[in-house]
A and B are shown apart, each in its own frame.
Chain A
Amino acid sequence: MSASQLALTSPCILLVEDEPSILFTLTILLEEECYRVITANHGREALQRLAVEVPDLIITDYMMPYLTGTELIEAVRAEPKYAAIPILLMSAALPAHINPYDIADSYLQKPVDLEKLYSVIKELIGN
């Protein structure tokens, strides 16, 4: 399903990922699941997108330019109007001292299992 065919009422996901091919492909995969996807190439851009539209879920990478995934999550959580947005952190690796579940609502290690990703998204948006 292409972006234009998705109703504005479809659940909206802000996808933050600095790897263009993953960003593009994951967008198509999520649109196929009937989610509307807003994309950002890094944390700063994500904060700009948030100012325009508040999504139902944020999916963010960890290793990105300007802001790490942790810094982006801290910035989001610092703003009360974004407090209710569930956040899913996805990364191939995290610093040893970080427990992803302390900062995000859920965590998936890359490469992700697509079915697992879909089920976590449903769980988070459903909540």
Chain B
Amino acid sequence: MSESAPRKPLRPRLSTGVNGLDTVLLGGLIPAAVYIVQGSPGAGKTILANQVCFHRADLGEHSLYVTLLAESHDRMVEHLSTMSYFDAKQVPESVYYISAYSVLEQEGLEGILRLLTHERKTRGASLIVLDGLFVLEETVHTEAEFRKFVNNLSAFANLSGCTMLLLTNSARGPHSPEYTMVDGWIELGRQQMDYHSHRFFQVHKFRGSGFISGNHMTNISDEGIRVFPRLESSLGRVRGAATEKTTVSTGIASLDQMMGGGIRGGSTTLFVGPSGIGKTTLGLQFIAQSTPEEPGLIFSFYEGKDDLVDKAQSLGIDLEALIRDGTVEAIWQPATENTLDELGYELLEAVQRRGVKRLFLDGINAFQQSAEYPDRIRRFLAALTNVLHSEGVTVASSLVTEELMGVENRVQLGSISAAVQNILLLRYVEINSSTRRSISVVKVRSSAFDPAIREYFITDEGVVIGEQFQQADTTQTEHGHPRRIQGDS
């Protein structure tokens, strides 16, 4: 039979107000559809659902929050009132809470549907949250009865134009009928790692649209729930406009010379070396070149703002003044239990907020340490540096080698080197029973560079690069024995 179905324009997506969620859903929920939000107690289902309700209230819409649980919703509202999104003025006019517990006891599933029908109409609700779907599973006598009810909810949503969120802590598997019948299935979970756990969010099903699959980290704060779409998945395809081929200074003229005249604008340069060798010093000189037109950002994991200001001062750089007049911003993140994507988004937001053009990322290792799954780091850093490149940000980053000795053999650049264009190696050199510093360029993409290993000094005017080592040059090995690196004595 030839059917003519004039195409109806797609209904606009329903924004959720949950930061990151709409990105994962490629634009938000599809209206007039039913979604299961699944998660164990404490996973954040109630926080998420209420966040959506209050967001819709801000847009002038009405929501109905129906709880099937025996516990009082007054108590839930009391807990929610600490959330910044909670607006008491919106209750009860725009967000209306009712308990359906007694209706379920007295009138069964049909009673619930009649209640939803009546209250939707009375409240003019465009969003209904049904909190406690698992209670219905326990109430019904047969699986068929439950399936029929979920099917009826689906028809109700479709007919009434109402979007529904069904919250459940049931651990039923993907083959359970409710997941087959609803339009979307979202899971909030917690993953136990060695000593800590992290929260994640996953879309299992989203009818009528694509979505960013896989696990995405989440956090819950007094601002509600936030989803961090896996950076390499959500931003991995960002392709910036071809950046103008500019050359920028490292802040040290002699180092610029070593690198073929400077570094390419929008590139990433890595300073690799052991603790105390001078990586942060190089970074501070790089960031001191920031201007109000090309602002700078220091994103550091090991040294806080005050330490950096002191260190800069010892190099003749007035970092405090640069921070005060807004030319530079310094953000310190303790290298503790961060999640990779959270760090990535915080960094990118700080870059985009001020139109940063120079970034000093002090301690790129912290990204590696924050990677819940280490095999992600290569793609993550590739995506991150790709976005920074597309924003025209020139990046200098320090990578601390784990051991003071044995730099040469121990540098594990595998996951990082693909994402950087230039690499500088900083090493301790033992000569005549004294320890000196050496600097060498090991990689500069698309440019010739000076391959010499040179000595450098940290003075009160910053880094001064000296002559090429000529004789008996050695670096320290992991065993503390001299190892020849160039020339013969």
Contact = CB atoms under 8 A, between A and B. Distances in A.
B142 interface: no
Query: Which residue among A24, A28, A92, A93 has the maximum number of chain B CB atoms within 10 Å of its CB?
Result: A28
A95 interface: yes
A21 B3 contact: no
A121 B378 CA distance: 62
A29 interface: yes
Nearest to A115: B161
Contact of A95 (B2, B8, B152): B2
B418 interface: no
Given A95-B1, A114-B161, A25 B156 contact: yes
B4 to A, nearest CB: 4
Contact of B159 (A20, A22, A31): A22
Contact of A96 (B2, B113, B155, B161): B2
A48 interface: no
Contact of A25 (B5, B32, B121, B159): B159
B474 interface: no
Contacts of B1: 95
B155 A24 contact: yes
A81 to B, nearest CB: 31
B353 to A, nearest CB: 42
Contacts of A54: none
A19 interface: yes
Interface in A80-102: 92-96
Interface in A94-127: 94-96, 109, 111-114
B365 interface: no
Query: Which residue among B6, B121, B159 has the maximum number of chain A CB atoms within 10 Å of its CB?
Result: B159
B117 interface: yes
Contacts of B148: 20-21
A29 B156 CA distance: 8
Contacts of B3: 93-96
B158 interface: yes
A37 to B, nearest CB: 13
B8 A25 contact: no
SS class of chain B's interface: helix, strand, loop or mixed?
A: helix
Give the interface size class of chain A.
Answer: 20 to 34
Nearest to B157: A25
B72 to A, nearest CB: 27
A24 B152 contact: yes
Contacts of A24: 113, 152, 155
A73 B151 CA distance: 28
Contacts of A111: 32, 158-159
A32 interface: yes
A21 to B, nearest CB: 4
A21 B177 CA distance: 15
A22 B121 contact: no
A95 B4 contact: yes
A31 B113 CA distance: 12
B114 A114 contact: no
B481 interface: no
A92 B4 CA distance: 9
A33 to B, nearest CB: 8
Nearest to A112: B159
Given A95-B1, A96-B3, A96-B4, A28 B117 contact: yes
A25 B152 contact: yes
Contacts of B161: 113-114
Contacts of A114: 159-161
Contact of B113 (A1, A28, A109): A28
What 10 A-B pairs have minimum CB-CB distances, sorted nearest first? A21-B155, A93-B5, A96-B4, A93-B3, A25-B155, A21-B151, A25-B156, A22-B155, A21-B152, A32-B117
Interface of A: 1-2, 19-22, 24-26, 28-29, 31-32, 92-96, 109, 111-114
